[in-house]
Amino acid sequence: MRRFLVAILAAETILAAPITASAKDAVYQSFFGTAINGTDPVAYFTMGKPVEGSSDFAHDWNGATFHFASAENRDLFAVSPEKYAPQFGGYCAWAVSQGYTASTDLDAWKIVDGKLYLNYIKSVQSQWEQDIPGNISAGEGNWPKVLN
């Protein structure tokens, strides 16, 4: 009985401990640790669509591993990652404009003024598109504070 009470007290202590919020990664990563779910960010610019990358053509940047469809795309990114990396770390542009983060659907994307923006789903992207300049400005004002 004593062991049981000690176990209960230990569990209560653990459960009552404050939970500290940890900062989110600067780049949205899948469960497996790849940036933007392993999709090649350069392909959005060069092929006009999301293309699955390969671990054979990987490059680490800003705390995340990006995958590319080719060595050429990897090398383009390595020379100029800010040019090709999705804005707001690949988190949903609408969510960041609203002051929080959300994952993204790699088919809900748009290039605006030479920058790649991703959104949670296409219906959210439609909301974001109603005021692209305003939402980009709001997102820039919230970034990177939303990571904390």
* Selection from 95, 84, 104, 102 nearest residue 36 by Cα: 104
pLDDT for 31 equals 73
pLDDT for 32 equals 74
pLDDT in tens, 15-44: 333 333 457 889 988 877 899 999 999 999
Domains of the chain, by residue range, sit at 26-84, 86-148
Beta bridge partner(s), residue 66: 59
pLDDT in tens, 43-95: 999 999 999 999 999 999 999 999 999 999 999 999 999 999 999 999 999 99
pLDDT for 37 equals 92
pLDDT for 5 equals 36
User: How far is the C-alpha of 73 from the C-alpha of 57, rounded, in Å?
Assistant: 8
Could you tell me the CA-to-CA distances from 32 to 28, 35, 92 in Å, in that order? 11, 9, 19
Please determine, for residue 3, whether its predicted confidence score (pLDDT) is greater than 80: no
* Selection from 11, 60, 3, 6 nearest residue 34 by Cα: 60
